[in-house]
Structure 1
Amino acid sequence: MTASVVVKNWRWMHDDGTFATAPLSFALKPGERVILRGRSGAGKSTLLAALAGVAGQSGQQSGELLVNGRMPEDARGQIGLVLQDPYSQAVMERIGDDVAFGLENIGVPPGDMNALISDALAAVGLDLPLDHPTDALSGGERQRLALAGVLALRPTLLLLDEPTANLDPKGARLICDSVARVAREPNMTLIVVDHNPELWQDIVTRELLLDERGITESPLTVTAPATLSAGRAPSRAPKPTEVKPNEAKPTPLLRARNLAVGYPNARVAQVDLDIDVAAGEILAVTGANGVGKSALALTLGGLIPPMAGGVSVAAPAPDGPPHKWSSRELARHIGSVFQAPEHQFIGSTVRKDVGLGLRGRSHRAQLSAQVDATLTEFNLAAQHDQNPFTLSGGEKRRLSIADAVVMRPRVLIFDEPTFGQDDVTRLDLVTSFRRLRDAGHAIVVVTHDERFVNEVADHQLELTA
């Protein structure tokens, strides 16, 4: 059995009376495979959640939305959804149990589960023991686990929301190949949201574009992504240089020596790292999923202790390693952006969230002006009164960056800052990062975005297993 999709004049209204989208109308025949594109915040994730029957209670929908002629809530066993946030999907403590959870819910006999679980994990390249703890996975590994859990169910309608956003290039290609095999063999219907259509050009047959007017349909077109020229001046090389031991560099603002990193109570991910980042420099940290990039970012940011070696920040800064500083001292000197943006939201509105860190540091008028300028810089002025948790994935990412940047700490640590961004907002981030570098910040960026590395980084550190 395959799935048809019919959407007629459908739209979602939030509790505050605002609409997530214009009225939407389109139809998919059984077995069609499409890519859904649009600006960050256009409503793509809201539409996928509604198609999966999990749009939630914080709003109401109008119009018609049918899967195989039924409301999505009545067809859930036939629909598989991979969410945008990889940290919101794991429900069990071990990866084997996590994949088994869905199979148990649809009544698969226990004797048939092991083969389905193993096949699904192999399909997404997650080569780990079945009892491996889910909380020890990197963001990219969590994304693979989420997809494995859905693929094991063999749904007739597969909905993928930014499935490759947290993956290294090799992992992204593996995911696309896995989806291609599963989607083609049983003639599955597929809707994928991705800002990188070139990854899917051999899988999908057409493109749906979601904007303020609604949805328009067109044949798939893959064009070269928009970029900005690299570097700050014609004399600067467009490619970042690799970090080399004992290389002569400017006086570092952020320094690590003989550093070993890993999550508390977990294995050591990297050892013997020597890192220097001077004021006015951007260091890009790259590498495959699971090699310790996020653990390194948290360690450099003083949020977890090093397993060996040390981290220091040049004066004026508190004495001692950053992980022993107070939270107030950390916020003043090091700004961190986590891989999961929701983990750092504490304000009831976007504006309050950005302004909380400035309390006690500025006069009211100065605070208001600084918050306004930061919201404008990161394309969040229109969302200033929204609850942070109701933002789109791309908007949440930009808010987490705004939260870190508004206090203007000398050291900035970013984990996957371009996640969920369309071409326009991504280029705006490139401009913002160059501006921060020119203002003298020492910046570390963990990323899989090769274009972003070439456009903003002065140096590159590639971690290997």
Structure 2
Amino acid sequence: MGLQITTAVPGPVPVLAEGWGWRHAGRKDPAVSGASFSIAPGERVLLLGASGAGKSTLLHAMAGVLGDDGEGEEAGRLTVAGLRPSDARGRAGLVLQDPESQLVLARVGDEVAFGAENLSVPRAEIWNRVRESLADVGLDVPLDHPTAALSGGQKQRLALASVLAMRPGLLLLDEPTANLDPEGVPEVRDAVARVLDSTGATLVVVEHRVAVWADVVDRVIVLAAGGGMLADGPPAKVLAERATRARLAEAGVWVPGHTPRLKLPAAPAPGGPLLQAVGLDVARSRKTGPVLRGVDVDLLSGQALSITGPNGAGKSTLALTLGGLLAPSRGELTATPALHRGAAQSPVKWKSAQLVARIGCVFQEPEHQFLTSTVLDELEFGPRRVAKLPEAVVRQRVDTIAERLRLTRLLQANPFTLSGGEKRRLSVATMLATSPDILMLDEPTFGQDANTWAELVTLLAELVADGKSVVSVTHDADFTAALGGAAVRVAGGGVQPVQTLRRAA
């Protein structure tokens, strides 16, 4: 879907919704229904709701990029600056939940300049904005740096810088800090606050972790999963009032000071190694030099391993290499007999059917691994075509996983129409359905509300208790503490020693 940009009109933008709703084509239930609110020019709003409540759909609608006739069914009325959103596209800037889907050009500087160029900003002013925006979001790379060489977190910073350079009157942010390292979260939030202070722009930000934005916004709007509004008011009232907090927590909203309840199985003693890396150098491609050198790590049965570290350090590259999807630049990656079971010792030499039955990889961008047109077909694809399980076993396994990860009502939906959190759960579920010995997850808790987060942690802990190896690339400290096991930190071109963790009480 192309983004059309028209000449911008300066100044903050009001938004009005009157019983607004949207149903995606081919879906039985609406993504949003009964949304009614008025956002004043310059107001700063935190938009909350359970995973799948329609937050991203509403942001896309405000930006005027939701879809043309035939792509869905609209109800009620939604206006931006008194206009249909599609007629006010130059006044809104949207940072998508998946930043990679928003990248257009090959070089960082050109990417940040693109929106401002389309708004006819003078050339000299454009490049001043480019440098300012990159500095504001903490993306310290040359202007000619390839956008394809950025990590997921760096792409998220780039997408935000590109929108900030446009100086929109309405700034729409969809999980803007979800893939950032802990140090980058306040940096990016403060950059947004500075832009708002200088431009007076209206802000609507979606973020599951409420505490990040609670001091920046002056209003909280909560969408109810079944339609309508669950809460609307100042942060101090919505997030502090006991009765409201209880309703939000029950709905899965990340209420500050409230921790989801977990009932985890006892953590087993780690078993023997399944995969061993010795002196491993890893690179993003054969044309680039190693991002990590001399990695020594064992993946053990019955153990969770979290890979942490700053954006761009090489966490995802390490996971893809351990998962057999990238060839090591140097060193040895060897599967033990318990894992290779007669196949080659090196995972990178395995055929796809051999690989997915032994190591399941969940990518940082969920859409990269979707193959079919319905959620049900996606879940059944691995166990039916790869594992070649009997039909009764396939159905039982798929039904159980879909129920655990709250995908049952979405079985006939197109995977590409799901919310970001739903896509993430589906990507995890497709790998779980093949029951691999090692599960490799990149940012598994992205886009999850408190309830789905707790269910995902519980399910992964059960896998560990069953003797599986669960490896997670993550910035989520709560997830790492809850799952326990061990952790390594990737930084400075290497991997720091393994740290043994205890599960958080």
Aligned ranges 1:49-88 → 2 under 5 Å: 49-57=60-68, 58-88=71-101
For 1:138, the aligned partner's letter is S
Structure 2 residue aligned with 1:407, among 398, 409, 434? 434
The offset of 1:266, in angstroms, is: 2.3
CA 1:161/1:280 → structure 2, altered by over 3 Å: closer, same or farther? same
- Counterpart for residue 169 of structure 1: 182
1:302 aligns with 2:313: no
Q: Secondary structure of the residue that 1:185 maps to in structure 2?
A: helix
Q: What TM-score do you get using the length of structure 1 for normalisation?
A: 0.95
Residue in 1 aligned with 2:304?
Answer: 282
Letter in 2 for 1:260: D
In structure 2, runs of 5+ residues without a counterpart are 1-10, 240-254, 493-505
Which structure would you say has the larger RCO, counting Cα contacts within 8 Å and 6 or more residues apart? 1
Q: CA deviation at 1:404?
A: 0.8
Distance 1:399 1:13 in 2: 20
Residue 353 (structure 1) aligns with: 378
Looking at structure 2, the residues matched to 77 and 305 of structure 1 have their Cα atoms a distance apart, in angstroms, of 44
Q: 1:214 aligns with which of 228, 247, 250?
A: 228
CA contact (8 A) 1:397 1:417 kept: yes
Distance 1:231 1:399, change over 3 A: closer
Instruction: Identify the match of residue 294 of structure 2 among 266, 272, 277.
Output: 272
Which residue number corresponds to residue 242 of structure 1? none
CA offset digits 1:262-283 (Å, max 9, x no partner): 2002231111111112111001
Q: Deviations over 1:237-290 (max 9, x none)?
A: xxxxxxxxxxxx752112111111120022311111111121110010000000
Amino acid corresponding to residue 275 of structure 2 in structure 1: L
Query: Is the CA contact (8 Å cut-off) linking 1:136 and 1:266 kept in structure 2?
Result: no
Instruction: Work out whether 1:120 is the aligned partner of 2:133.
Output: yes
- Aligned twin of 2:217: 204
Look up the match of 1:189. 202
- Equivalence for 1:5: 15
Partner Cα distance (1:89, 1:207) in 2: 27
| 1:188-211 Cα deviation digits (max 9, x unpaired) | 110000001101122001210001
- Contact conserved, 2:336 with 2:345, CA < 8 A, in 1? no
Matched, 1:150 2:160: no
For 2:62 and 2:81, locate their aligned partners in 1 and report how far apart those are by CA, in whole Å.
Answer: 11
Query: How far apart are the structure 1 equivalents of 2:181 and 2:455?
Result: 23
Spell out, residue by residue over 1:322-356, the C-alpha distance to the aligned partner (whole angstroms, 9 max, x if none).
11111111011100000000000002110111111
In 2, the alpha carbon distance for the partners of 1:186 and 1:168 equals 27
Partner residue in 1 for 2:144: 131
* 2:436 maps to 1:423: no
Distance 1:139 1:225, change over 3 A: farther
Q: 1:167 to 1:161 in 2, by over 3 A?
A: same
Instruction: Supply the distance in 2 between the matched residues of 1:213 and 1:345 (Cα, whole angstroms).
Output: 28
- Shift of residue 59 of structure 1? 0.4
Count of aligned positions: 453
State which of 16, 21, 25 in structure 1 corresponds to 2:32: 21
> Is 1:230–1:454's contact at 8 Å kept on the other side of the alignment?
no
Q: Do the aligned partners of 2:276 and 2:334 also contact (CA within 8 Å) in 1?
A: yes
CA RMSD of aligned residues (A): 1.6
Question: 1:230, 1:91 → 2: CA distance?
Answer: 44
Q: Tell me the CA shift for residue 426 of structure 1.
A: 0.3
| Equivalent position of 2:364 in the other structure | 339
Q: Does the 8 Å contact 1:5/1:66 carry over to 2?
A: yes
Q: Could you say which residue in structure 2 is the equivalent of 1:105?
A: 118
Instruction: Compute the displacement of 1:46 (Å).
Output: 0.4
Residue 2 of structure 1 aligns with an amino acid whose one-letter code is P
Q: What is the SS of the residue equivalent to 1:209?
A: strand
CA distance in 2, matches of 1:279, 1:225: 33
Check whether the contact 1:230–1:456 (CA below 8 A) recurs between aligned residues.
no
Query: AA paired with 1:40?
Result: S
Normalising to structure 2: TM-score of the pair? 0.87
CA contact (8 A) 1:258 1:308 kept: yes
- Pick from 261, 275, 279 the counterpart of residue 258 of structure 1: 279
Q: 2:57 — aligned with what?
A: 46
Q: Which amino acid aligns with 1:446?
A: V
2:348 aligns with 323
Confirm or deny: 8 A CA contact 2:175 2:205 kept in the other structure: yes
Of 241, 259, 265, which aligns to 1:226?
Answer: 259
Indicate the SS of the match to 2:288: coil
Distance 1:235 1:20, change over 3 A: closer
Tell me the residue number matched to 1:313: 335
* Residues 1:384 and 1:65: Cα distance change in structure 2 (over 3 Å): same
Distance 1:233 1:370, change over 3 A: closer
1:229 CA drift (Å): 5.9
SS at match of 2:345: coil
Q: In the superposition, relative to structure 1, how do residues 411 and 390 fare at CA in structure 2: closer, same or farther (>3 Å)?
A: same
